[in-house]
């Protein structure tokens, strides 16, 4: 008969953000119950039986206070509600735990240091190769009579003249 009233819907539990939401369409009085997880820290759920009325209460206890969340006609339905709430809380704690591990940046950032070292190496290699492109080494020749090296002058034109080297006007103009 209760399935006809509830349309076959059963207890559902989920954590949405920081709120535990329990839906009880199969309880004696169908209801939805919400609790903030931050305010409910230290609470626990329990099933209490009322032998006189043959009812089973799903209860939230915190310290010495207790709150009846809902009431069921059978112990099986009350146990199902308790299990659903436990599963929802467990699933939420897994998500928070994994997210917490990712967000906390504990440990030494070896990857960042390695990346920085590679970037510095590339910059110095580039600057070193750019500095050598404009440099033309002088050729040294030995003369037969002396041991002092002499440099051979190569003709200089304006296209390949190294910067900072003095050039005569005749050599520059090609006359």
pTM of whole model > 0.85?
no
Please answer whether residues 62 and 53 qualify as being in contact, where contact means their C-beta atoms are separated by less than 8 angstroms.
no
Please answer whether residues 47 and 69 qualify as being in contact, where contact means their C-beta atoms are separated by less than 8 angstroms.
no
Q: What is the dihedral of CA 124, 129, 134, 138, to 10 degrees?
A: 110
> From the CA atom positions of the chain, what is the Rg in Å?
42
| pLDDT 10s digits, 34-93 | 888 887 778 888 999 988 888 999 898 888 888 898 999 989 998 998 898 888 888 877
CA–chain centroid gap for 144, Å, is 74
| pLDDT 10s digits, 113-163 | 999 999 999 998 888 887 666 555 554 444 455 555 555 555 555 566 567
Q: What is the pLDDT of residue 101?
A: 47
How far is 8 from 1, CA to CA, in rounded Å?
10
| pLDDT 10s digits, 103-126 | 455 677 888 899 999 999 999 888
């Amino acid at each position: 008969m209760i399935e006809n009233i509830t349309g076959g819907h059963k207890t559902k539990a989920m954590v949405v953000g920081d709120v535990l939401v329990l839906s009880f369409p199969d309880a004696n009085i169908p209801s939805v119950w919400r609790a903030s997880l931050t305010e409910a820290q230290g609470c626990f759920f329990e099933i209490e039986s009322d032998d006189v009325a043959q009812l089973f209460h799903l209860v939230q206890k915190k310290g010495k206070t207790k709150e009846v969340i809902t009431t069921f006609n059978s112990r099986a339905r009350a146990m199902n509600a308790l299990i659903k709430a436990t599963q929802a809380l467990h699933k939420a704690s897994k998500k928070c735990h994994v997210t917490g591990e990712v967000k906390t940046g504990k440990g030494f950032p070896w990857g960042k240091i390695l990346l920085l070292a590679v970037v510095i190496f590339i910059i110095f290699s580039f600057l070193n190769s750019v500095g050598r492109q404009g440099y033309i080494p002088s050729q040294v020749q030995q003369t037969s009579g002396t041991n002092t090296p002499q440099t051979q002058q190569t003709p200089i034109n304006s296209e390949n003249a190294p910067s900072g080297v003095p050039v005569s006007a005749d050599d520059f103009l090609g006359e």
